[in-house]
């Protein structure tokens, strides 16, 4: 299916082209970092699919830690939210590492339902050798995750999270900076 050539689609096609030039073969993992970037990541996935790629979508929000774990040392603060909100070990174990292995290795796109505060019973999925995984959410360019991505897009917003900025310096470590303040006309930041 060919998407209509809107300014947004044309911009996303350029991004997809850049990612595929860097990682033309094998499985590709793209991080879309920022708050409220789900729609941008969904649109990027549509353009990858338009280009003929088997594409999967995940969100870091589906890898939260249980509320009791996050607040065991007291109420959530910006610092504790940054440090303890997400279960990166499970993210790597059930999604990133198995996805990277290719072949018939299964992976899961979600592990925890934050709203219900319970683990998710996910289906194990498999994909072809040249599949694309797009994962969205905040804090994806933190030091312990940076090397997991073939490409990273930082959707800049104001204000940035000061704890994240100080610890991770995401602007310095992203491959592509995008200003999506006008979703119909995203531009390079």
**Residues 113-138: pLDDT tens digits?**
999 999 998 889 999 888 999 999 99
Location of structure tokens 């993992």: 29
Residue-range domain boundaries for the chain: 7-188
CATH architecture for residues 7-188: 3-Layer(aba) Sandwich (3.40)
- The answer to whether the beta carbons of residues 95 and 109 sit under 8 Å apart is yes
**Residues 16-74: pLDDT tens digits?**
999 998 887 789 999 999 988 999 999 999 999 999 999 999 999 999 999 998 888 88
């Amino acid at each position: 299916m060919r998407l209509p050539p809107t300014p947004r689609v044309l911009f996303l096609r350029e991004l997809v082209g850049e990612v595929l030039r860097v990682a033309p073969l094998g499985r590709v993992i793209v991080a879309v970092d920022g708050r409220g970037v789900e729609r941008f990541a969904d649109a990027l996935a549509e353009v990858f699919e338009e280009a003929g790629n088997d594409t999967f979508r995940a969100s870091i929000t589906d890898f939260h830690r249980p509320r009791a774990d996050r607040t065991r040392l007291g109420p959530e603060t910006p610092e504790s939210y940054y440090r303890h909100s997400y279960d990166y070990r499970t993210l790597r174990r059930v999604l990133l590492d198995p996805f990277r292995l290719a072949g018939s290795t299964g992976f899961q796109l979600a592990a925890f339902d934050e709203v219900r505060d319970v683990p998710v019973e996910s289906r194990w999925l498999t994909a072809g050798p040249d599949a694309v995984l797009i994962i969205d959410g905040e804090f994806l360019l933190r030091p312990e995750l940076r090397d997991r991505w073939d490409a990273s897009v930082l959707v800049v917003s104001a204000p940035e999270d000061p704890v994240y900025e100080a610890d991770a310096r995401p602007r310095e470590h992203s491959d592509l900076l995008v200003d999506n303040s006008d979703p119909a006309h995203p531009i390079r930041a």
